[in-house]
A and B are shown apart, each in its own frame.
Chain A
Amino acid sequence: MAAAAPVLPPAVADAVHESTLDAITAQARAVAHSIGNPLTGLGLSLELLAQTPLTELQRRYLDRCLRVSERLNAYKELLGEFGGSARARPGFLQTAALIEQVLQPVRLLPEQHMHLDIPAQAAQLWGIEPVLIEAVRALVRNATDALPQGGSLGIKAHMQSDCLRLEVWDTGPGLSAAQAAQLWQKPWSTKAHGAGMGLLLVALVVERLHGGRVGFAPNAPCGARFFIDLPRPKDDGVWV
């Protein structure tokens, strides 16, 4: 059995957390920045190639390369956003305002219907705003991607005894038990333009940076339900 992590004095724990946060976000930013140059060379070369006469088979290979290039770009953007939060610190956030920022760049298809359920009891949460926005947005994007022909999706917040739970659900095809078991283990996706890396970053943001939990459950009557549990802060043993 693995040894339990040492319990640090609060001031030291805070300092460790802050330096860890700085280190993680600085690394993410550095990686995102470094990827930009090769992606530029790759993407522009592929666009030049697309303008040349190609056989049908060559065109198919080229289209695949262009899709892969776009996927890499999406990962780069995600890492860059995560890395851009280097100076962010946790604080009380208004749940509705956070969700509003999450949804601001999200474009729904006409047949996709978004439902929001944010009761007064879940009006506030504790967290690091920029990375939380990206984490929830990654889940929302997965939900929209699961509904290419339309359907319902939503975000629900509810306060539990020790945490605020944010759920992102959809009425898409859902996941099998085998798929669900591997969700948080490695980059994984059911999509052609997979966002498996997105779920890993969600887990990193919630579990490592917030001390929270991530999880998945089937949605009723169909689809998927991802949740993130964000711990409520305590002050001298009292819930704040």
Chain B
Amino acid sequence: MTSAAQPNKLIVIVEDDVDVRETLAEVLEEEGFQSKAFSDGPQALAWLSACQTPPALILLDLMMPTMDGWAFRAEQCRTGDLQQIPTVILSADSNIAENSEALQVAGFLRKPIHMQTLLNLAERFCGPPQLKPGG
């Protein structure tokens, strides 16, 4: 990824739970946002490192088996380009606020996630959604 690349309006989802991952992607797509979902951190990092234009936002689950959110964040922060991508953590933990401060992320979404909360966040980082024709 080139450091001068302008962010597109893509939202990257890093979430191991298939139901959460697919539902987040479906909600975003239904409401006019683009997304790309990964089931683990290494896949997501590999794609992010290779993409030409950084996404507008990363939604990052904290509790994942292969590489948890903490390890992902550490790896992300080692790479200058990736570090600049706004990241929001997803977690069911009651201390998610403290974790988000410790991880120095742009925000957090506490599970279970409600649709409007997700959409407000998406619009905050990606701008207004692209509405479907006739929708």
Question: Which residue of chain A lies nearest to B90 when distances are taken between CB atoms in the complex?
Answer: A40
Interface residues on chain B, size class? 20 to 34
Tell me the chain A residues, 24-45 only, with Cβ under 8 Å from chain B: 29, 32-45
| Complex interface: chain B residues within 8 A of A18 (CB) | none
| Complex interface: chain B residues within 8 A of A51 (CB) | 30
| Complex interface: chain B residues within 8 A of A29 (CB) | 93-94
Bound Cα distance A29, B91 (Å): 13
Question: Which residue of chain A lies nearest to B26 when distances are taken between CB atoms in the complex?
Answer: A48
The segment out of B15-23, B44-52, B77-85 that lies at the interface is B15-23
Question: Which residue of chain A lies nearest to B22 when distances are taken between CB atoms in the complex?
Answer: A41
Residue-wise, chain B 11-51 has the 8 Å CB interface mask toward A (1 for contact) of 00000010110111011001000000000000000000000
Q: Of A34, A40, A48, A84, which is within 8 A of B112 by CB?
A: A40
Find out whether the CB atom of B27 lies under 8 angstroms from the CB atom of A47.
yes
Given A43-B112, A48-B27: A32 touches B94 (CB 8 Å cut-off): yes
Bound Cα distance A84, B110 (Å): 15
Given A36-B92, A47-B27, A84-B95: A41 touches B19 (CB 8 Å cut-off): yes
| Complex interface: chain B residues within 8 A of A44 (CB) | 23-24, 26-27, 112-115, 118
| Complex interface: chain A residues within 8 A of B113 (CB) | 40, 43-44
Find out whether the CB atom of B111 lies under 8 angstroms from the CB atom of A39.
yes
Find out whether the CB atom of A45 lies under 8 angstroms from the CB atom of B111.
no
| Complex interface: chain B residues within 8 A of A76 (CB) | 92, 112
Grouping DSSP codes into helix (H, G, I), strand (E, B) and loop, the A interface class, with mixed when no group exceeds half, is: helix
* Interface assignment of A80: CB less than 8 Å from any CB of chain B: yes
* Interface assignment of A83: CB less than 8 Å from any CB of chain B: yes
Tell me the chain A residues, 53-83 only, with Cβ under 8 Å from chain B: 69, 73, 76, 80-81, 83
Residue-wise, chain B 91-109 has the 8 Å CB interface mask toward A (1 for contact) of 1111100000000000000
Find out whether the CB atom of A43 lies under 8 angstroms from the CB atom of B17.
no
Find out whether the CB atom of A41 lies under 8 angstroms from the CB atom of B30.
no
| Complex interface: chain B residues within 8 A of A32 (CB) | 92, 94
| Complex interface: chain B residues within 8 A of A84 (CB) | 94-95
A interface size (C-beta, 8 A)? 25
- Give, as a whole number of angstroms, the nearest-CB distance from A72 to chain B: 9
Bound Cα distance A196, B26 (Å): 34
Bound Cα distance A51, B63 (Å): 30
| Complex interface: chain A residues within 8 A of B110 (CB) | 36
Q: Of A41, A47, A73, which is within 8 A of B20 by CB?
A: A41
Bound Cα distance A177, B17 (Å): 46
| Complex interface: chain A residues within 8 A of B93 (CB) | 29, 33, 80
Q: Of A34, A36, A38, A43, which is within 8 A of B114 by CB?
A: A43
**Extra pairs beyond A36-B91, A37-B92 (7, CB < 8 Å):** A35-B92, A36-B111, A38-B19, A40-B19, A40-B23, A40-B113, A44-B27
9 interchain residue pairs of minimum CB distance: A36-B92, A41-B19, A36-B111, A39-B112, A47-B115, A40-B112, A44-B23, A37-B17, A80-B94
